[in-house]
Amino acid sequence: MAHERLAAAEPENTSYARDLSISYERLGDLAHHAEDTETAKALLTTAASIRRALHRQEPNRIDLAEELGVTLAQLSSVVNNDDRAALIAETVDVLEPFERAGTLTPKGTAVLRWARQ
């Protein structure tokens, strides 16, 4: 993937890493809709790993936190119940500080509502 080469060449460039995570997320979504759960899980796990790294790199960026929450929600649909519970808890942990600060967007609010149901 071209995004992989760019992200590897400039690991500090969050735009390249973000683009790469989007590619993995979209491929994972396609695999999930094709009922290829194992491929979806692998692709979404990779997307989540990249998104976690981005969030660690820039923890105050609401967009990266919300995108991580979305990816964790997608990944939770293709894992077992124990893993699902851990992903949901992680989603809440990532988004609650932004909720307390009053900076969540409607997207983040929706993901947090999903995680709390």
Domain ranges of the chain: 2-116
- Paired tokens of 90: 């992680």
Note the Cα 3 to chain centre separation in Å.
Answer: 17
pLDDT at residue 14, as a whole number: 82
The whole-number average pLDDT for the span 103-108 is 98
pLDDT tens digit string along 65-77? 999 999 999 999 9
Round to whole Å and give the CA distance between 12 and 4: 13
Model confidence at 1, pLDDT cuts 50, 70, 90, reads: low
Say whether pLDDT at 5 is over 90.
no
* Tokens 């119940």, located at residue: 81
Quote the pTM value. 0.90
pLDDT tens digit string along 21-66? 999 999 999 999 999 999 999 999 999 999 999 999 999 999 999 9
Q: Give the up-direction half-sphere exposure of residue 14: CA atoms within 13 A in the CB hemisphere.
A: 12
Superfamily of domain 2-116: Tetratricopeptide repeat domain (1.25.40.10)
Round to whole Å and give the CA distance between 59 and 70: 16
11 phi/psi in degrees, rounded to 5? -60, -20
Round to whole Å and give the CA distance between 20 and 24: 6
